[in-house]
Amino acid sequence: MLINFKIFRDNDIRGVYPEDFNEEVAFKIGQVLVVRWKPKKVSVGMDMRVSGPGIKQALIEGITSMGVDVVDLGMISTPMNYFAAATLGVDLAIVVSASHNPKEYNGLIIAKKGGLPTNKLELEQLAELMKGEVELVVGIRKGEISKGTILNNCVNHAFELVPARRIRPMKVVLDAGNSVAGVELEPALLKLPQVEAIKLYFEPDGNFPNHMPNPLLRETLKDLQESVRSNKAELGLAYDGDADRVLMVDEKGGYVGGSVMTAYLAKYLLSVNKFKQKPVIIYTTVMSRIVPETIEKYGGRPVRSPVGHAIIKAKMKEEKALFAGEHSGHFYFKKNYNADSALIGTLMILAAVSSDPRLVSEQL
């Protein structure tokens, strides 16, 4: 089997399907990750990509061929994958996903027990194991496959962090971009009857028929901006392919960058909570000075970090940080096992907007 080892990246595994990443590669990765981490039980899910079902099945077969049990979670987001790693009692949690990348890509995001991310060194070790032959133990039993779900628990957890009562009646536009974001948003909106949500492209579709699921690309926001203006909504939110990022437009359809969003959410968190000592809030090296200035102004201690979710999560654990934000729309929360979540970010944004009677553009 020829393998393009460039698919092993700093934080995940990702390549073009089927040239670089396919069922054969996924099957062997399933075997070698058992060799690397020696798990007893693994959860596996997938996003909405067309190649997802075949990749997921091959990955599961590779894992179970090594005698390890698998919980099949069906269609999930990356935040749901980390939630599974933290709460489901599995040793590894894997989602078949290529995040915001074009439809011809697919890959794997691997989380460890407790919701910990895999780092560059661990993925390099996995790549080294791929170069050799996997020895199967003669007579080993095949692992069992069971079905599972974590959607309701994940949504309930989000509302534990941001109670629905903090969100006032408002009109918002939500553009899921045919990603898995709609999978989480649909049940969450049922808990927010006071919110009039105009839903764009909620149906998961790996062909991305409307636009790329990447809110950092301004052209992907056109429909959202137009809908906000035409419906006289208070704000609009856009999501990426695996629903771990959310970015924002104001009531005029004006783009709100990740730096301003991080400052805005930091202000809200520091204003509505009482702390015995200055809580740490992490921001990245590429962000505007408005972020540390706002954190300091409202009683927090800003700590700067390089970009990258594995680095930021480790920094959050080290600093016992309350919150972290990236310019790309990743927002991390201490009470979410230091993981990022677009759903929790959404609820937090709506709660922040609800705390101030001014227009969103004026607040920002």
User: Do residues 151 and 326 make contact, with C-beta atoms less than 8 angstroms apart?
Assistant: no
> Which two structure tokens, joined as six digits, stand for 294?
């706002």
Q: Give me the catalytic one of 99, 227, 259, 305.
A: 99
According to DSSP, the β-strands at 280-284 and 323-325 are parallel
Considering only CA atoms, which of 250, 226, 241, 237 is closest in space to residue 177? Answer: 241
3-class secondary-structure state, position 200: strand
User: Do residues 158 and 347 make contact, with C-beta atoms less than 8 angstroms apart?
Assistant: yes
> Which two structure tokens, joined as six digits, stand for 226?
């137009």
Contacts of 282 (CB under 8 A, 6+ apart): 302, 303, 304, 305, 312, 315, 316, 319, 321, 323, 324, 325, 332
> Which two structure tokens, joined as six digits, stand for 202?
């909620």
Single-letter code of the amino acid located at 222: K
- Cβ neighbour number for residue 139 with a 10 Å cutoff: 6
From CA 329, how far away is CA 315, in angstroms rounded?
18
Q: Any idea of the CA torsion for 335, 307, 218, 167, to the nearest 10 degrees?
A: 10
Alpha helices in the chain (DSSP H): 23-37, 52-64, 78-87, 120-130, 151-161, 181-190, 222-230, 258-272, 290-297, 309-319, 342-354, 360-363
From the centroid of its chain, how far is CA 303?
Answer: 22
The answer to whether 99 is a known catalytic residue is yes
From CA 337, how far away is CA 155, in angstroms rounded?
15
Residues catalogued as catalytic: 99
